[in-house]
Structure 1
């Protein structure tokens, strides 16, 4: 892409960020015609101030727009930069199972070492330390792929299980950070590998990662169908067990299906799926982290609130928060990613009902829990931009300070 004119690069990255020309123009404070002329090369970008403003809106290093190697961002401890995205992409494009037929591969880690690394990566994700995770992912992917390519006998299924988990971790992190196509690729790889791991529950978890990626790409119908289809196959009873792990995976598939239905505006399907998931959560009893799902009664209420936001029913989301989540012991014991994610959903709910101060306060609360969940996610930037744009006068100091740290203009 280095040889492309600068306008074409702007168009490319705008497309990657899923922005229409009108949305992009609105965020720049320009006209759609201005954007169109820049992208076609009719209008030159000869002011660095405008170039950096474009880079800020697109959330990328300005060097990429100039066709140069990107510099690592100063906030790399909490976010991801284009260097890391390309390293992850390169790792996902490896085919070690074929390469080993042609050349010797480096010695992979042992199963025990790989298991420890994967568990650590899961915790890094669930503590929302996305910058740390993004730098670790390329090596983790290469190691897991190498181990899977050489494992034999009884070790084959275990190695495939670990590789499937690594793909899931990568998919989840990339989706959070706005790299939706890569998130889908990693999730799809996880589904394929999970079939070799001889673990239907791992395949079930891989399914809702695929559903999440599809939903992020705007494909709500396929996301709903894939989640519900696999949930029905894994449902407890009728030949399947009722162990906690199965209840957890089954319940999360239903909840992710509910989120897809909410995106489609299908309120009845949302209610049906959440109620089915509630039965599983009630049988489970408490909030557990089987298969890294964090499924349980509290997480169910978080999804109920999130689905209300997707339906445009911000008031119901706030009511769910105040009646079923505030003061609930289970909420305070959930891992930081889950709690901060909920505060982001709550901020969206408050914004929908016009309570901008509380929307901003929810973002500040989420930032205290897990800064990366608020500062690095494109949706959080959209919410903050919405709050600032609609607030009359200067926003409260904590909100203004967070907006500055996020790079969202007031």
Structure 2
């Protein structure tokens, strides 16, 4: 954000507010020519009073115009915008290890602080607070990259690489959710390389699922299937010598492979992978969250329902959903449950039950609003539900549509 000239930030936010230069100028008491020169960088904004007036007209935190992080409520539901995407991209474009050959590396944060920051970021992700995580990512990426470079030849080298691999995975996951697919693939690819330096096969295994999910989001389903299955085969459990961590990552890879198979209509491979995942989950003995996988019997069922939706078998997905153990399902992390509700909204829409589909969207919104309000697929589902609703939608659904900017 800091790299963008203030004039471009003014132009971006004026357009986002759907305000013409003339209307904007009138509300500022300036000429249209003045606004045009500011936005093109011909005229400097060197008075704070004018910057504050612009922020007021744009109904914007003045810190955003100044290229700084604004004060935000921790429960803010704002989704990511293009200025924030640009800042994440800038952080991903850093090559600290190469620069270290020519310049002194910046003072890195202590490993203990990085460990706490990564843990907090995972918790933010698991509760579906994507906007909050996206705004924290640029600094987190810069800090993790600096730490990985600075500690490269110390006893902390592997842990620093491990933490950077985690941050790349988080970046990939949230960027994919928010529709920034190319950046999601880049971050996931970086995570695999860093995981290898960390010497952790399981971290690399989870990173593989991030790459595969990015590929799947880009429409490259067969490539996603192959990479998941290949790495799963390498992590295949050995009787008596398999840890819960390994079993969880192995099962998670199988689930993501099953989703990729469903996307290309390969129902036989999908069923085989789901059956193998179910067997792995049984060996785990319950729902766990090793290596941030949320893997276990309940997550296998949730993925069975999601895969059925991808195949267009909404009725089967509903049957699976209705058979979920409420206690086990409610113990899952908010992101997982809200994601399932979004999948089920699609499933109910497939069988023509748009009323239940709307209810699923509302359930997901109550649980993790960003999963519904910030994801492009959720906007598509809500638009479809509203289009097919006979008469007037419920007040709750109409309110959600208004907040999401989806026409009723």
Q: Shift in Å at residue 153 of structure 1?
A: 3.2
Instruction: Indicate the residue corresponding to 1:199 in structure 2.
Output: 200
Provide the C-alpha distance between the structure 2 equivalents of 1:263 and 1:374, rounded to a whole number of angstroms: 21
Task: Provide the residue aligned with 2:171 in structure 1.
Answer: 170
Measured in 1, the distance between the counterparts of 2:315 and 2:396 equals 24
Residue 318 (1) aligns with residue 318 (2): yes
Which residue matches 2:295?
295
- Conservation of the 8 A alpha-carbon contact between 1:385 and 1:409: yes
What is the distance in 1 between the residues matched to 2:385 and 2:91? 38
- Between the aligned partners of 1:134 and 1:348, the Cα distance in structure 2 is 26
Shift, 1:155, TM fit: 1.2
Does structure 2 retain, via aligned residues, the 8 Å contact 1:72–1:83? no
Corresponding position of 1:229: 230
CA offset digits 1:141-190 (Å, max 9, x no partner) = 00000000011233111111000000000000000000011000000000
Structure 2 counterpart SS, 1:295: coil
- Deviations for 1:177-236, whole angstroms, at most 9, x for unmatched residues? 000110000000000111100010000000000000000000000000000000000111
**What are the ranges of 5 or more consecutive residues in structure 2 without an aligned counterpart?**
5-17, 21-34, 42-54, 62-71
| Distance verdict in 2 for CA 1:80–1:274, change over 3 Å | same
User: Which residue in 1 is equivalent to 2:138?
Assistant: 138
- In structure 1, what is the equivalent of residue 392 of structure 2? 394
TM-score (norm 1): 0.81
What is aligned with 1:407?
405
**1:26 corresponds to which residue?**
none
**SS of 2:348's equivalent?**
helix
TM-fit CA distance, 1:72: 9.1
Would the aligned equivalents of 2:105 and 2:149 in 1 still touch at CA under 8 Å?
no
Q: Hey, what's the Cα distance between the residues in 1 that align with 2:362 and 2:40?
A: 35
Kindly indicate whether residue 181 of structure 2 is the aligned counterpart of residue 180 of structure 1: yes
Counterpart contact for 2:365–2:373, Cα < 8 Å:
yes
Tell me, in whole angstroms, the C-alpha distance in 2 between the residues paired with 1:403 and 1:267. 34
Distance of aligned partners of 1:73 and 1:341 in 2 relative to their CA distance in 1, 3 Å threshold: farther
The answer as to whether partners of 1:339 and 1:366 remain within 8 angstroms in 2 is yes
Residue aligning to 2:7:
none
d(CA) in 1 for partners of 2:89, 2:385: 34
Q: Counterpart of 1:328?
A: 326
Residue 398 of structure 1: how far off its partner (Å): 1.1
Q: Which residue of 2 aligns with 1:382?
A: 380
Q: Which runs of 4+ in 1 moved over 4 A?
A: 67-76
| Partner in structure 2 of residue 256 of structure 1 | 256
Q: Cα gap change, 1:190/1:73 in structure 2, threshold over 3 Å: closer, same or farther?
A: farther
CA offset digits 1:74-110 (Å, max 9, x no partner): 9964311111100000000000001112112321111
Q: Distance in 2 between matches of 1:68 and 1:80?
A: 24
Higher alpha-carbon deviation: 138-147 or 240-249: 240-249
**Structure 2 match to 1:88:** 88
Give me the whole-angstrom Cα distance separating, in 1, the residues matched to 2:107 and 2:352.
Answer: 57
Distance 1:281 1:370, change over 3 A: same
Taking the aligned partners of 2:97 and 2:237, their CA distance within structure 1 comes to: 35
Q: Secondary structure at the match of 1:286?
A: coil
Aligned partners of 1:249, 1:219: CA distance in 2, in Å? 22
**Distance of 1:122 and 1:310 partners within structure 2:** 27
C-alpha contact 2:181 2:214 (8 A) present in aligned 1: yes
**TM-score using structure 2 length:** 0.82
Offset at residue 310 of structure 1 (A): 0.4
Query: Which residue of structure 1 lines up, in the alignment, with residue 102 of structure 2?
Result: 102
Q: 1:239-290, CA deviations, whole angstroms, 9 ceiling, x for partnerless residues?
A: x931100010000000000000000011111100000000100010111111
Which is greater in Rg?
A: 2
Tell me the equivalent position of 1:20. Answer: none
What's the C-alpha RMSD, in Å, of the aligned pairs? Answer: 2.6
Please give the residue correspondences for 1:2-401 in structure 2 after superposition, counting only pairs within 5 Å.
Answer: 77-151=77-151, 152-237=153-238, 241-323=241-323, 325=324, 327-401=325-399
Q: CA deviation at 1:328?
A: 3.0
- Counterparts in 2 of 1:138 and 1:72: CA distance versus 1, 3 Å: farther
